[in-house]
Structure 1
């Protein structure tokens, strides 16, 4: 088993797999050493994603978020071209073919898979490598774990980093309690 893991978080304008992606946060880490190895924020150009979707409900939700201007400001016209982001992600994932791929829930990787397949005709990971942070967190909480990391603030990189730190805390909790 590889000791390099990848955590991703994305911010979108829809909840469908075809959503416009505003940001992708990606963090490489070692779980055994509880160490961040590398991190990146990819703000994507929204205007160049004319073939992807946005929903009224998601946009209404964004209107209520205190950091909407920050998230949207990075992406509206100055973000990375979608095909460059897709090639960058394919490169990152290809370097880590045996890595465990984490996200909080089952939203990020199906959407990223759709995005990557559209732009590069490939999805560079095996379905069995994907891990769900939300399920692990609920299980750990049922065993007495209480996270001390901040709630998501909807900046993809900060959220991915928070999720990695929560995973480190869960690993430490199960190490101390003998996995019970």
Structure 2
């Protein structure tokens, strides 16, 4: 008799680094941390650096203010690192928009094989941090290379900043600001603090209601 494998809820925190703030922005880093909110499985890290020149050739945009931000002394090393990784790659085409979009889609669509479970509950919640920023830009990038947006089928999209603001939970600062993976990890910590606060409220509410019933 085959043992039934347990279902595991998965969530993803997504972060991008771009050279503009509009939907057609050049994106030079896409990061995603897929995690179990109950910590039943190890986190899975996905980190992609995209070819900037290819995107410019295809009409994606930069802005003066964003370029000034990335050329500041504290932020320039992150942009330089991304450019260096792409320029030194043995197969530069691996960093193209299409190759990156394809890899992300493949990883999301085969996530249960990545984790080694055949019965994963994959109604994944995809979180992002900054209002109408990350996902509209990513959606536009996928459309530009004529690929379906992978999270439109499998995912519930939620936004972290509004949740944290409403709960009065300060954001956890990233250990390496504007590094996608580190930003995702900090945002996951913020999300967990939000959920812990909600859990405390629910426990207090249950306690009060229980006392009223006893009366």
TM-score (norm 2): 0.72
What's the counterpart of residue 158 of structure 2?
Answer: 131
What's the counterpart of residue 89 of structure 1?
Answer: 104
* Cα distance in 1 for residues equivalent to 2:73 and 2:180: 14
Unaligned runs of 5+ in 1: none
Instruction: Confirm whether residue 161 of structure 1 aligns to residue 185 of structure 2.
Output: yes
Shift of 1:65: 5.3
Instruction: Confirm whether residue 122 of structure 1 aligns to residue 148 of structure 2.
Output: yes
Shift of 1:56: 1.0
Residue deviations 1:96-118, cap 9 Å, x none?
66211110022111111111111
| Max Rg structure | 2
Instruction: Confirm whether residue 11 of structure 1 aligns to residue 17 of structure 2.
Output: yes
* Cα distance in 2 for residues equivalent to 1:104 and 1:146: 13
- Asked if 2 retains the 8 angstrom alpha-carbon contact of 1:25 and 1:158, the reply is no
- Asked if 2 retains the 8 angstrom alpha-carbon contact of 1:34 and 1:168, the reply is no
- Asked if 1 retains the 8 angstrom alpha-carbon contact of 2:29 and 2:47, the reply is yes
Change (3 A) 1:139 1:118: same
* Cα distance in 1 for residues equivalent to 2:133 and 2:39: 27
- Asked if 2 retains the 8 angstrom alpha-carbon contact of 1:27 and 1:157, the reply is yes
* Cα distance in 1 for residues equivalent to 2:29 and 2:177: 13
Unaligned runs of 5+ in 2: 1-6, 90-94, 112-121, 206-215
* Cα distance in 1 for residues equivalent to 2:40 and 2:197: 13
Shift of 1:134: 0.6
Aligned with 1:109 (options 130, 135, 143): 135
- Asked if 1 retains the 8 angstrom alpha-carbon contact of 2:101 and 2:142, the reply is yes
* Cα distance in 1 for residues equivalent to 2:194 and 2:73: 28
* Cα distance in 2 for residues equivalent to 1:2 and 1:131: 19
Matches within 5 A, 1:161-180: 161-178=185-202
Aligned with 1:64 (options 72, 75, 79): 72
The SS at the match of 1:165 is: helix
Number of aligned positions between the proteins: 176
Shift of 1:68: 1.6
Higher relative contact order (CA 8 A, sep 6+): 1
